Structure 1
Amino acid sequence: MTVNRRILLGGIGASLALAACGNGVGGNGAQTIDARVDTTRDFLFSRYPGTQELSRQAFGVLYMPLVTEAGFGIGGAYGRGALRINDVTVDYYSTTRATIGFQIGAQQYAHALFFMTEGALGDFRRGSGWAAGADVRYATPEQGASLGKETTEIEPVIALVFGQSGLIAGATLAGVKYTRIIP
């Protein structure tokens, strides 16, 4: 029974921490998301110049400017962003992540998904929800400046996580889902 109580308290604590991080969910809709995406894109390009070329090669880029994550045993994350094709917003998406395992803390970060093939972008847009899976290559910010042609020719989707603040530690199993939204 003690384990169940810990999991319950961990879930409640994670929810409270997530709510306290100021994600801005329910804000001014599309204008807020677009402004955040512009700022995130500009930061990404100025900080990691290789990502600008990566963006030009991509068929589309999903920018998630602010994802808030918290966990204590059970955790979760949520954020909203925009899919851009030729740097024009075509759809808005939310990302939801659930985790379970040994973890404690809270953090905020941004990430971008670069769709390097027309098929990968089409699969993403046609689906009612899309879960990141084995066909996604995750890159670190240090790689963001040097993601080259060899990488982009063999990877259908490249995910770059950057701009982390806060601290979360642990080892977890996680699932991520992206869902089209109307802000």
Structure 2
Amino acid sequence: MTKLSRRTLLAMGGAGLGLAACGNGVGSAGSAKLDARVDATRNYLLTKYPGTRDLENKSVGVLWMPLMTEAGFGVGGAFGRGALRINNVTVDYYAAAAASFGLQIGAQQYAHALFFMTPEALSSFRRGDGWQLGADARYAVPDQGGAISASTLTSTAPIIALVFGQAGLMAGATLAGTKYTRIIP
């Protein structure tokens, strides 16, 4: 059996991430591909959880992240790309990245949406040079019956984060500590 040095392992991981980035939908046709993914994610959420339509109508903007991929074995990370929409029109594209450390093993994929409920929250997000989701957000998970709670719809939180569509073998999905950075596809 061949022993791998830490440097070799990191190089292989970096090469794998580089290859994965080749098909991530960035480029001149990339924005169209990313917008199509956002459309599909939005339609899925609004169809499966009809109460989110009211949430979207009350928001001043929504950041749609159609696919976040998370993996961890002691040390973990997550990455995805999405689009910020105001009045359902794409105004910017963003990448999201997160790192974690602790007792974890597995991989999963999920989608999430950040509903900006105040103009100030949206403005702060757009002005930031890399914005990190933290305590100012209210987290909500749609229940199995296809509804979100009334407290979510009447919340006065400036940002409401919904995580949905989880698939994989990792317990839970969290957005705390996720950094969002504007990208040019």
Taking structure 1 as the reference length, what is the TM-score of the superposition?
Answer: 0.83
Q: CA RMSD in A?
A: 3.3
1:178 aligns with 2:180: yes
Structure 1 residue 167, shift from structure 2 partner: 1.0
| Runs of 5+ unmatched residues, structure 2 | none
Secondary structure in 2 aligned to 1:106?
Answer: strand
Say whether the 8 Å CA contact 1:96–1:178 is kept in structure 2: yes
Q: Which runs of 4+ in 1 moved over 6 A?
A: 12-15, 17-20
CA deviation vs aligned residue, 1:24-71 (integer Å, no higher than 9, x gap): 354741001100000000000000001011000000000000011100
Q: How does 1:14-163 map to 2 (within 5 A)?
A: 24=24, 26=26, 28-142=29-143, 145-148=147-150, 151-163=153-165
Q: SS of the residue aligned with 1:142?
A: coil
Distance 2:61 2:30 in 1: 21
> Aligned residues, how many?
178
Partner SS, residue 52 of structure 1: helix
- Residue segments in structure 1 that go unaligned for 5+ positions in a row: none
In 2, are the aligned partners of 1:115 and 1:157 still within 8 Å (CA)? Answer: yes
Identity of aligned residues (%): 61
Contact 1:64 1:79 in 2 (8 A): yes
Amino acid at match of 1:111: H
Name the CA distance, whole Å, in 2 between partners of 1:160 and 1:171. 11
- Shifted more, 26-35 versus 64-73: the winner is 26-35
SS in 2 for 1:141: coil
For residue 161 of structure 1, what is the amino acid of its counterpart?
A: V
Change (3 A) 1:108 1:87: same
CA distance in 2, matches of 1:162, 1:111: 6
Query: What letter is aligned with 1:129?
Result: G
Q: In the aligned structure 2, how far is the partner of 1:122 from the partner of 1:16? A: 36
